[in-house]
Amino acid sequence: MPSWENNVRKVVPYTPGEQPRIRDIIKLNTNENPYPPSPAVQAALAQTDSELLRKYPDPAASLLVDAIAKQYGVSSDRVFVGVGSDDVLAMSFLTFFASGRPILFPDITYSFYDVWADLFRIPYETRALDENFRITSRDYFAENGGIIFPNPNAPTGVLKPLGEVEEIVSRNRDVVVIVDEAYIDFEDGEDGAIPADSALNLIDRYENLLVVQTFSKSRSLAGMRIGYAIGSKKLIRYLNDAKYSFNSYTMNQTAIAAGVAAVEDQAYFARCLGRIKATRRWTEDALRELGFSFQDSQSNFLFVTHERVPARELFAALREAKIIVRYFDKPRIDNYLRITIGTDEEMEKLIAFLKDYLGQ
């Protein structure tokens, strides 16, 4: 090894979901929304002044921050935005997990967490989900340097009730607790309202609580890369200090315009959520009839296992049929498939193939 390589920061990178270049596929592997963004987004992009593209964007992304703050009933100094929730989360790791004590997160969870921890040299420990893929609150009562977990969890789709979330936050007031709510909008309940189990319902009580969400899933803007965090003024100020020390111009003009339009069209947002939840319920019933089992999902995907056919075999067979789902070759979950909820037509084709393949 050349001597200069001794000084290279080496990490094992995150492996994102495949973006296949196969034509005419049914793509159910990366939890993208099957429906287009709000028509208001298209209109906003069409009206974007080309002169704006020549100039640097507003580093504070004030229009977007203000729109998010208005939607959630908080002041703008309690909102932080970034290039997708991955950017927001990475900045949060860098900003808040600097004590030298290990941070805690589940053993089966979003697989970027350990990558960021390794990248920023943050010690960490994982806590095992129980036999039903649920987070055990008491596992997070030990001394630590911070806590992060998704709710609903990924890739399992299991939702932790708000009371149990608060139990973790209240027992860890001396560290920052981050609740990653990429999928919270798909919780059963009133479409488009703040979900009953969202940790946003706790932010006025806990200065150390940061809630992170994204436009990628429920608002159909994965390609625009918009994420945000809501928390106390102090947490947001610390995040902005880190951001402006790293990269001031993180959000481009088109993303800001698209994000504002998406937030303001709540009626379209609610309709899309309702359609996806209805399709999820239909798909759950159809998969159960075919011998699949899974925990209750409050996300836009199902995490399923079959009673007799290995997940790896099903994954390969589906791919051959140009239906792409997600398979994780990892301990405890290597016999499960994660299936994104697509359109009714896409899910009907998935079920039709599985019926034929399973001989039912």
HEC-encoded secondary structure of 46-79: HCCCHHHHHCCCCCCCHHHHHHHHHHHCCCHHHE
pLDDT tier for residue 18 given thresholds of 50, 70 and 90: confident
pLDDT tens across 257-270, in order? 999 999 999 999 99
Q: What span, in angstroms and rounded, lies between the C-alpha atoms of 294 and 297?
A: 8
Q: What span, in angstroms and rounded, lies between the C-alpha atoms of 83 and 97?
A: 20
pLDDT of residue 17: 82
Among 18-32, 189-203, 292-306, the minimum mean pLDDT is found in 18-32
Residue 326 has pLDDT above 80, yes or no: yes
The percent of residues above 90 in pLDDT, for the chain, comes to: 89
**226: helix, strand or coil:** coil
Q: What span, in angstroms and rounded, lies between the C-alpha atoms of 335 and 312?
A: 7
Give residue for tokens 């290279």.
8
Single pTM value for the model: 0.96
pLDDT of residue 92: 98
Residue 6 has pLDDT above 90, yes or no: no
Q: Which two structure tokens, joined as six digits, stand for 359?
A: 């001989």
The percent of residues above 70 in pLDDT, for the chain, comes to: 100
Q: What is the average per-residue pLDDT within 103-129?
A: 97
For 39-264, the fitting CATH number among 3.40.640.10, 3.40.1360.10, 3.30.980.10, 3.40.30.10 is 3.40.640.10
Q: What span, in angstroms and rounded, lies between the C-alpha atoms of 218 and 33?
A: 6
Residue 71 has pLDDT above 80, yes or no: yes
Q: What is the DSSP letter of 16?
A: P
Q: Which two structure tokens, joined as six digits, stand for 41?
A: 């987004």
Q: Which two structure tokens, joined as six digits, stand for 171?
A: 């027992």
Q: Is the peptide bond before 13 cis (omega within 30 degrees of 0)?
A: no
Distance of CA 37 to the CA centre of its chain: 17
pLDDT of residue 52: 79
Asked if residues 213 and 227 have their Cβ atoms less than 8 Å apart, the reply is yes
Q: What is the average per-residue pLDDT within 175-188?
A: 98
Can you give the C-alpha Rg of the chain in angstroms? 21
Among 14-28, 67-81, 199-213, 235-249, the minimum mean pLDDT is found in 14-28
pLDDT tier for residue 126 given thresholds of 50, 70 and 90: very high
Instruction: Give the domain 18-37+267-358 fold.
Output: Aspartate Aminotransferase, domain 1 (3.90.1150)
pLDDT of residue 53: 84
Parallel, antiparallel, or unpaired: how do β-strands 79-82 and 227-231 relate?
antiparallel
Q: What is the average per-residue pLDDT within 125-131?
A: 97
195 or 55, which is more confident: 195
Going by C-beta distance under 8 Å and a sequence separation of 6 or more, which residues neighbour residue 113?
A: 105, 124, 148
Q: Which two structure tokens, joined as six digits, stand for 288?
A: 């159960």
In DSSP terms, 80 is beta-bridged to: 229
pLDDT of residue 156: 97
Mean pLDDT of all residues belonging to the chain: 96
Q: What span, in angstroms and rounded, lies between the C-alpha atoms of 156 and 319?
A: 21
Q: Where are the domains of the chain?
A: 18-37+267-358, 39-264
**81: helix, strand or coil:** strand
pLDDT of residue 48: 84
pLDDT of residue 225: 97
Residue 306 has pLDDT above 80, yes or no: yes
Asked if residues 217 and 58 have their Cβ atoms less than 8 Å apart, the reply is no
Q: What span, in angstroms and rounded, lies between the C-alpha atoms of 172 and 174?
A: 6
| Selection from 300, 30, 34 nearest residue 152 by Cα | 300
In DSSP terms, 206 is beta-bridged to: none
Q: What is the average per-residue pLDDT within 292-317?
A: 97
Q: Which two structure tokens, joined as six digits, stand for 263?
A: 């937030």
51 or 122, which is more confident: 122
